[in-house]
Structure 1
Amino acid sequence: MIWKKTLLTLLVLSSSVWAAEKKSHAQKTFSESEVTALKAEWLAEQKTQWLQQAEQREKQREAFLIADNLLKTAISSKQFSAETQRLVNALIRSLDTYPLKRDIDWAVLKAKIESKQVTADDIRAFSALYPNSPYQKQFEQLPFAQLYERKKWADLLKYSEKVTPVGMDNQCRVLASQFQLLSEKLQSESPQAQTESNRFLIADLLAQFEKLWLKTTALPSECTELESYWKAKSGITTEKIRLKAVHLFDKNAKSELSNLLPIAENQTPELKNWLVTVEQLAKQPTTLPAFIEQATADEQSRMIANKAFPQFMRTIAENTGNPDFTPYQAWADKLGLSADERKAWKVTFLNRLFDNENGNFQIWRDQQIQQLQADNLTERRIRLAILQQAPLADWLSLLSNEAKSKPEWRYWAAKNEKEAKKREASLIALSKERGFYPMLAAQLLGKQYVPTQGLLLKSDVQSRLQPQFDRIKELRDLQHFAQVKTAWIELLDELSVDDKLAVTDYAKQQNWYDLAVEGTIQAKAFDYLSLRLPNAYSDWFDLNLEGKPISKTFAMAIARQESAWNFQARSHANALGLMQMLPSTAQKTAQDNQLPYRNEQDLLQPFNNIMLGTTHLTELNAKYPNNRFLIAAAYNAGASRVERWLVRANGKLALDEFVASIPFYETRGYVQNVVAYDYYQQLLQKVEKPIMFYKDEWQRKY
């Protein structure tokens, strides 16, 4: 593939080269056969040169991979022997022109760091070669460990005045160095000779350590000696233990909470009992009533209860009989919660039991929503009103100004506006923006939606950044995809917005579709639709959709929403690849349609993923013919859920009402994005008659 592209480039360039050749030999006339022979000779020379370069690159790649493997072993084992260094140095002699030279030099330096062989000269040499590398800040932190291991306490403290220690290890090294110097000084003095200044320094050091202890789940070994001195000198008080427990509870540090119990051994029985209930609550949220029962109206108990209440509410069944906030109100009274804290509890309670069918609860719920005016509750109540086809005006009026400015609620406010001119003006204004609800506004106006698109400026970014592009290309060729993304973001971070757009356009031209999308995210280039929605894997979508009732733009919109064109994407649920197929779904789809499928690794191959993903879309289309909304919702949340939502809607809802009433936030956004992306793709691919909404979608009752 590389050879074909290179040859094509040579052929394109050849005409201009031969024009120059003819000009330089203006006094000599060449026959057609001579020109053909000379051209063939030149092409042969170029081909030989290219093959030599390709051979050299292959040798460099092989040397890099061997050296990289040796260095990974050295780093993980923290052993970098002289013989390993000799071998690595020999391998990397040929890599001066290799795009990943910096990467291998960093690996050598890291192996020296991990094996504690690194010198200041090593770091200076690397920094001189790569002054803009992202490793400079790491180098600044290295002397803390080196000086600490050599017990250069004074030098370490002097260094900390110039460079702020980052990370708990280095912060502890600084405090431990202060402690060591003070200890040495105090040991050389009699108690009578100890000055007020020294006592102040000790108190200040212990205060610094105490702050660190209170905000940290676990301290490194460098702080062990200072921690013992602090405990003996200032004593572990009830308040400090309780504050530490609050921090550990907030961080869900269950084992560290258990470790607090022995520290409190000499404390009051009340504290020990309190710690036991906190530990139990961290492990089991249902024990909140027991915690509240023995708690007092102190700050730490309030903080624990506020953190635990949402977790406790998730253990309550949504359709519990006769839901009542009264017991929780009593808890709030006992703990002395503030008005804001009580409001947060009530909002949590209402969100959990929102759909409870108890009539009295529903009346109380609506009263509370009107009083609380919490946007998340109000928005949920508006969706319920849309589902019930009830008046919206009163609920819309409860939204904050920030919420009212969202395109969704502007659409519904406009649609429910009784005065025709105001309604039209609001819809026109909305239709000029970007997104699903501007599309709906255009549909209501009976106009074609034309989103604004950003224009790219000319840039010399390719010539300026070619070494960085070469590095990214080589990492992709080696399938080091995690490093590719890191390198890409590092590059983008250093650029202006215009240059970000230019390198994103370059990525699109190189078919680095995932990097192009990432570039638009980093640049916040939401109006640059051609960059956000590259025509990725176009031929493979054409091939796999041949004879299928799924449009190419819709299938591509699904893939773009699912993976942002990252063919290595893997979700928490183990959905894989471009179209985020679950292995179980992929296997069933393959079996039902007589398609090849071996294991989940197939899903990381773009063609295989597109083949199975488009086939699954076809299966869903058989269930929901020509309805992208239902197909997309089923692809995201499962067909069984879509069936339940349709039963709930009962065939009474218009399209916009059904979308607004989808109970899952993720699925609502998913459906809206997919349909908008589909339309944008139609525009970008210059479809003759782009369609915003199919008749089967718009005219159906859901």
Structure 2
Amino acid sequence: MRQQYVQAQQLFDSGKLGEARALTRQLESYPLYPYLAYRELMSGLGGLKKPSLENFQKRYPDFPLQKDLYSSWLNYLVGAKRWKDFAYASDDQKLSANLSCWRAFALYQLKRNSDADALTKDLWLSGKSQPDTCDAPFNTFKSRKKLTQNLIEERMILALSEDESGLAKYLAKQLSGSTKAHAEAMIALSEHPETVSKYIEALKKRPGKIVTDYYVDTLKQYGRAEPEAALAIATHHGQKLFASDKEKNETVDYLLGRLAIKAPDRYLAATKQYQRPAEDDDAQRVLRYWLGSSNWPMVKATIATLPKDLQAEERWKYWEARSLGETGNDLQARTLFTELAKERSFYGYASAQRLGLPYQLNHQPLPVSSERQREVMGIPAIARAVELRILDQEWQSRREWYRALDNMPREQKVAAARLADQWGWYFVSIFTMAKAAYWDDVQVRFPMAYSQDFVAAAQNVALDPDWVIAISRQESAFRYDANSPVGARGLMQLMPATAKHTIRKFNLPDASLQDLYNPDINIKIGSHYLSEVNSTFSNNRILATAAYNAGPSRVSRWLNERGQLPADIWIETIPFNETRKYVQNVLTYAVIYQKKLGRAPELIKPSEMQLTRNVASNSP
């Protein structure tokens, strides 16, 4: 049946619809039959009826191209100007902006003016420019005297809230009288948010929601530069701006977050002044500020302001232990470190290393019965995923698999992850176990993927193989065809320019862009590039790992700005959230792969314990 399926697809591609449909009829029991049924429906959009599509949706509810099929039919009806059919077909559907505009147009064509007016008003009240297809219903709405000055002003304010100044100024030109003067004042305010207090003080009462939301947005914009002044305005004029304490607290919390960025030394006092608990992200910024200056009493004070549930998290427990140790409370510090050392995590491993305790893997796989695995294999989307993978349609296969996961209970997800692992489908098994939110199956989450290639490539450039594997696990989760939004490719996420530079520098065989998806080629080039970065930073994995993510020049700058710091503090104070987490993950994963490779586990090497400017002496 597999070969017949391929043949049927080729017949559809070549336009031999009669032969394709005849062959399709013979394949109804084949897992990929819905794709042929989809092609058959797509080839006859003109004759389709809504019940036929609803029947297809009911028969294959998890088929990933359902929305594409329905959208194609709606667009066909628009092109054919079959407005009655389109209005019926688009009723109760979640439509794109473009199709919503066409629906409004169709309703006007059918003289369903009340329905058309309501939909057009909804489309009008958007702070973003709408598709050109909205022009016709907007013009009809205006000709029906429904487009009032208030609606134009409301949309103008929405546009300002979306930073669409061009649209806002265009709309303001359509206003007159006092409404126009007010609109121009709002535009002036958007250009000078520091004047927001003047506008708020002039209010006699709280205006409508759209205007109020705009004032609050502008106050937040002002607060990006002057959070303390904005906080004072928010609290002093709260009754004019906020309908509830919840709305007020959300704004105050945002402005406190800006204060944590602009003036972290004043954050704790402000949380007390405005009687708000410290937020995790904000407290982390403040923690990094005090760590950078080794102010351990303020580290302790920062932790003490956190809610109890946050204090119990590993990061905060670790730094509480560090602050206790640095302030002479060694016994209390050891107690906390001992508790943390039981965990499989960066802070757990950092604690274990400080106390000389074993690193814990905590591998505790959930039992999965053969019956449960058969149950998973019986899910139509899973069966389609397996067939598509056999046909080398990798991304289509993953799409089916992901759709199936959306409807699985946790036990089925764990079973599905185990199946994918058994098939060597590494990325999918890791992804699936993460969707199950089960973190203690170390075998599935940290497979020995491409291990022979990694070990050989690492040894060839004198790198620790566990580290190279850990980099790939973090970069792509072993998805060989990974492609990032910025163009990084393959297992070790190589940028084409980086690959080209590395090939030239190390005299490696030429590789095309497509070759970067080849695991063997990607690992060889990636390992050589990592060795170059490692050499730049005097064989310090912490700095080289940060540089692999954020770039060598940034890491060199961070070193120059901060002087000498212990490794754990240097990592915690990395300015970029992504890079900080990246380094912590890679070091943690390296310990896991050290144990899997039978190497002596070590989170941070003795030569990496203190980071100084001199470490980057080889940096250009």
TM-score normalized by the length of structure 2: 0.79
Q: Structure 1 residues 517 and 69, CA, compared in 2 at 3 Å: closer, same or farther?
A: farther
Alignment-derived partner of residue 102 in structure 1: 34
Per the TM alignment, residue 645 of structure 1 is displaced from its structure 2 partner at its CA by: 2.5
For 1:638 and 1:167, locate their aligned partners in 2 and report how far apart those are by CA, in whole Å.
Answer: 39
Alignment-derived partner of residue 533 in structure 1: 446
1:584-599 correspondence to structure 2 within 5 Å: 584-599=497-512
Match of 1:241 among 152, 155, 165: 152
Q: Structure 1 residues 454 and 231, CA, compared in 2 at 3 Å: closer, same or farther?
A: farther
Alignment-derived partner of residue 425 in structure 1: 335
Cα pair 2:220 2:251 within 8 Å, conserved: no
Cα pair 1:67 1:91 within 8 Å, conserved: no
1:86 and 2:30 matched:
no
Alignment-derived partner of residue 489 in structure 1: 402
Per the TM alignment, residue 499 of structure 1 is displaced from its structure 2 partner at its CA by: 1.6
Alignment-derived partner of residue 73 in structure 1: none
What letter corresponds to residue 398 of structure 2 in structure 1? K
For 2:100 and 2:270, locate their aligned partners in 1 and report how far apart those are by CA, in whole Å.
Answer: 48
Per the TM alignment, residue 364 of structure 1 is displaced from its structure 2 partner at its CA by: 5.7
Q: Structure 1 residues 275 and 479, CA, compared in 2 at 3 Å: closer, same or farther?
A: farther
Q: Structure 2: 5+ residue runs without aligned partners?
A: 243-247, 614-620
For 1:586 and 1:269, locate their aligned partners in 2 and report how far apart those are by CA, in whole Å.
Answer: 57
Alignment-derived partner of residue 63 in structure 1: 7
Highest CA radius of gyration, 1 or 2? 1
Match of 1:508 among 398, 406, 421: 421
Per the TM alignment, residue 124 of structure 1 is displaced from its structure 2 partner at its CA by: 6.5
1:696 and 2:607 matched:
yes
Per the TM alignment, residue 585 of structure 1 is displaced from its structure 2 partner at its CA by: 1.8
What letter corresponds to residue 594 of structure 2 in structure 1? Q
Alignment-derived partner of residue 305 in structure 2: 398
For 2:475 and 2:501, locate their aligned partners in 1 and report how far apart those are by CA, in whole Å.
Answer: 20
1:553 and 2:460 matched:
no
Q: Structure 1 residues 266 and 459, CA, compared in 2 at 3 Å: closer, same or farther?
A: farther
Per the TM alignment, residue 505 of structure 1 is displaced from its structure 2 partner at its CA by: 1.4
Per the TM alignment, residue 205 of structure 1 is displaced from its structure 2 partner at its CA by: 8.0
Per the TM alignment, residue 409 of structure 1 is displaced from its structure 2 partner at its CA by: 0.9
Per the TM alignment, residue 560 of structure 1 is displaced from its structure 2 partner at its CA by: 1.1
1:571 and 2:571 matched:
no
For 1:126 and 1:655, locate their aligned partners in 2 and report how far apart those are by CA, in whole Å.
Answer: 59
How many residues end up aligned between the 2 structures?
589
Per the TM alignment, residue 84 of structure 1 is displaced from its structure 2 partner at its CA by: 4.8
Per the TM alignment, residue 369 of structure 1 is displaced from its structure 2 partner at its CA by: 6.3
1:522 and 2:432 matched:
no
TM-score normalized by the length of structure 1: 0.71
Q: 1:332-389 deviations in whole A, cap 9, x for unaligned?
A: 98996566477357436535534xxxxxxx8766754664654344322221211111
Per the TM alignment, residue 513 of structure 1 is displaced from its structure 2 partner at its CA by: 1.3
1:156-167 correspondence to structure 2 within 5 Å: 156=88
Q: 1:573-619 deviations in whole A, cap 9, x for unaligned?
A: 32222111122222222111111234433322222211111112212
Q: 1:194-220 deviations in whole A, cap 9, x for unaligned?
A: xxxxxxxx6x98567645542574667
Q: Secondary structure at the match of 1:609?
A: helix
For 2:590 and 2:313, locate their aligned partners in 1 and report how far apart those are by CA, in whole Å.
Answer: 22
For 2:485 and 2:132, locate their aligned partners in 1 and report how far apart those are by CA, in whole Å.
Answer: 34
Per the TM alignment, residue 325 of structure 1 is displaced from its structure 2 partner at its CA by: 5.7
Match of 1:454 among 355, 364, 371: 364
1:378 and 2:283 matched:
yes
Cα pair 2:126 2:155 within 8 Å, conserved: yes
For 1:500 and 1:331, locate their aligned partners in 2 and report how far apart those are by CA, in whole Å.
Answer: 47
Q: Secondary structure at the match of 2:460?
A: coil
Q: Structure 1 residues 454 and 291, CA, compared in 2 at 3 Å: closer, same or farther?
A: same
1:639 and 2:544 matched:
no
Cα pair 2:259 2:266 within 8 Å, conserved: no
Q: Structure 1 residues 170 and 591, CA, compared in 2 at 3 Å: closer, same or farther?
A: closer
For 1:141 and 1:688, locate their aligned partners in 2 and report how far apart those are by CA, in whole Å.
Answer: 55
What letter corresponds to residue 63 of structure 1 in structure 2? Q
Q: Structure 1: 5+ residue runs without aligned partners?
A: 1-55, 71-82, 185-201, 317-322, 355-361
Q: Secondary structure at the match of 1:667?
A: helix
Cα pair 2:543 2:555 within 8 Å, conserved: yes
Q: Structure 1 residues 692 and 173, CA, compared in 2 at 3 Å: closer, same or farther?
A: same
For 2:607 and 2:179, locate their aligned partners in 1 and report how far apart those are by CA, in whole Å.
Answer: 72
Identity of aligned residues (%): 25
Alignment-derived partner of residue 353 in structure 1: 262
Q: Structure 1 residues 559 and 117, CA, compared in 2 at 3 Å: closer, same or farther?
A: same
Q: Secondary structure at the match of 2:370?
A: coil
User: Which stretch has the larger CA shift, 230-239 or 588-597?
Assistant: 230-239
Q: Secondary structure at the match of 2:361?
A: coil
Q: 1:147-173 deviations in whole A, cap 9, x for unaligned?
A: 99656599949x95xx56655577678
Cα pair 1:369 1:378 within 8 Å, conserved: no
Cα pair 1:238 1:267 within 8 Å, conserved: no
1:682 and 2:566 matched:
no
For 2:53 and 2:167, locate their aligned partners in 1 and report how far apart those are by CA, in whole Å.
Answer: 38
Match of 1:616 among 501, 526, 529: 529
Alignment-derived partner of residue 49 in structure 1: none
Per the TM alignment, residue 487 of structure 1 is displaced from its structure 2 partner at its CA by: 0.7
Per the TM alignment, residue 551 of structure 1 is displaced from its structure 2 partner at its CA by: 1.9
Cα pair 2:64 2:400 within 8 Å, conserved: no
Cα pair 1:393 1:416 within 8 Å, conserved: yes
Q: Structure 1 residues 117 and 255, CA, compared in 2 at 3 Å: closer, same or farther?
A: farther
What letter corresponds to residue 389 of structure 1 in structure 2? S
What letter corresponds to residue 384 of structure 1 in structure 2? Y
Cα pair 1:549 1:621 within 8 Å, conserved: no
For 1:290 and 1:419, locate their aligned partners in 2 and report how far apart those are by CA, in whole Å.
Answer: 50
Alignment-derived partner of residue 616 in structure 2: none
Cα pair 1:655 1:701 within 8 Å, conserved: no
Q: Structure 1 residues 590 and 287, CA, compared in 2 at 3 Å: closer, same or farther?
A: farther
Cα pair 1:67 1:92 within 8 Å, conserved: no
For 2:561 and 2:218, locate their aligned partners in 1 and report how far apart those are by CA, in whole Å.
Answer: 33
Cα pair 1:145 1:173 within 8 Å, conserved: no
Cα pair 1:407 1:430 within 8 Å, conserved: yes
1:599-610 correspondence to structure 2 within 5 Å: 599-610=512-523
What letter corresponds to residue 335 of structure 2 in structure 1? A
For 1:117 and 1:253, locate their aligned partners in 2 and report how far apart those are by CA, in whole Å.
Answer: 43
Q: Secondary structure at the match of 1:416?
A: helix
Alignment-derived partner of residue 49 in structure 2: 119
For 1:255 and 1:514, locate their aligned partners in 2 and report how far apart those are by CA, in whole Å.
Answer: 45
Per the TM alignment, residue 521 of structure 1 is displaced from its structure 2 partner at its CA by: 2.1
For 1:395 and 1:363, locate their aligned partners in 2 and report how far apart those are by CA, in whole Å.
Answer: 10
For 1:244 and 1:228, locate their aligned partners in 2 and report how far apart those are by CA, in whole Å.
Answer: 16
Cα pair 1:144 1:173 within 8 Å, conserved: no
1:130-169 correspondence to structure 2 within 5 Å: 130=60, 133-134=63-64, 152=84, 156=88
Per the TM alignment, residue 507 of structure 1 is displaced from its structure 2 partner at its CA by: 1.1
For 1:696 and 1:154, locate their aligned partners in 2 and report how far apart those are by CA, in whole Å.
Answer: 70
For 1:563 and 1:244, locate their aligned partners in 2 and report how far apart those are by CA, in whole Å.
Answer: 43
1:303 and 2:233 matched:
no
For 1:239 and 1:621, locate their aligned partners in 2 and report how far apart those are by CA, in whole Å.
Answer: 62
What letter corresponds to residue 682 of structure 1 in structure 2? Q
Per the TM alignment, residue 668 of structure 1 is displaced from its structure 2 partner at its CA by: 0.9
What letter corresponds to residue 569 of structure 2 in structure 1? E
Q: 1:496-526 deviations in whole A, cap 9, x for unaligned?
A: 2122111111111222111112112211122
For 2:147 and 2:57, locate their aligned partners in 1 and report how far apart those are by CA, in whole Å.
Answer: 46
Q: Structure 1 residues 571 and 100, CA, compared in 2 at 3 Å: closer, same or farther?
A: same
Cα pair 2:105 2:116 within 8 Å, conserved: no
Cα pair 2:433 2:439 within 8 Å, conserved: yes
What letter corresponds to residue 362 of structure 2 in structure 1? T
Cα pair 2:256 2:267 within 8 Å, conserved: no
User: Which stretch has the larger CA shift, 339-348 or 589-598?
Assistant: 339-348
Cα pair 1:382 1:395 within 8 Å, conserved: yes
Per the TM alignment, residue 447 of structure 1 is displaced from its structure 2 partner at its CA by: 1.1
